[in-house]
Amino acid sequence: MPRQSTYQTKASPEKTPRRDPTAAGQRDAAVNRIASHNYFLLEKFECGLVLTGTEVKSVRGGKTNLRDSYGLVKDGELWLLNCHISPYEHGSYSNHAALRTRKLLMHKDEIRKLIGKTQAKGLTLIPTRMYFKNGKVKVEIALAKGKQLWDKRETERRRTADKEAREAIARGRKG
């Protein structure tokens, strides 16, 4: 006759692996800060990005620069040009080229919408940030219109005035 066990097993403690905040999706892998200075960002879209393995590892390491990059619609497909992803330091002969053209993934109806707006109104596609979402690399692309020099000055004046107003309110609350 088999013996029955009378002891209870302890629940295993919660696993708390120390993951990189970028890979976990808590922090952006790359941000294009200059985009809001040089362009009016009208509408933002989330796109997937086709990458090789060494590119994903470099993005996880934060070796990405979106500063001079832009999006282009060609033959019904969306492409990301001039996005610099540094070669992976532990990569071998099969490492990627840093400035290669990468394909962006979006639904066809969204791409058609972008085609109409970029061709008719003279707008452009600018990547604003790159981040991880559920283990996949995503790029936020903004439909943007270029700013003139006087637009940049006006934005700076407005920002300074808002900052001074906030500081004055804070001083009024303290004293």
Domain-located, residue 163: no
For residue 106, give the nearest of 64, 16, 45 by alpha carbon.
45
The DSSP bridge pattern shows strands 64-65 and 124-133 to be unpaired
Domain-located, residue 160: no
Q: What is the mean pLDDT of the chain?
A: 84
Domain-located, residue 112: yes
Domain-located, residue 50: yes
Domain-located, residue 11: no
Domain that holds residue 143: 30-147
Query: How many domains would you assign to the chain?
Result: 1
Element of type H or E holding 108: helix 108-120
| CA distance linking residue 69 with residue 162, whole number of Å | 31
Q: Which residue has the tokens 């922090």?
A: 27
Domain-located, residue 65: yes
Torsion (CA) 40, 41, 43, 48 in degrees, nearest 10 = 150
pLDDT at 16 over 60: no
Q: Which pLDDT score is estimated for 55? A: 85
Domain-located, residue 55: yes
pLDDT (mean) for 1-25: 65
How does pLDDT run across 124-141, given as a tens digit for each residue?
Answer: 899 999 998 888 889 999
Domain-located, residue 68: yes
Assign residue 103 the CATH number of its domain: 2.40.280.10
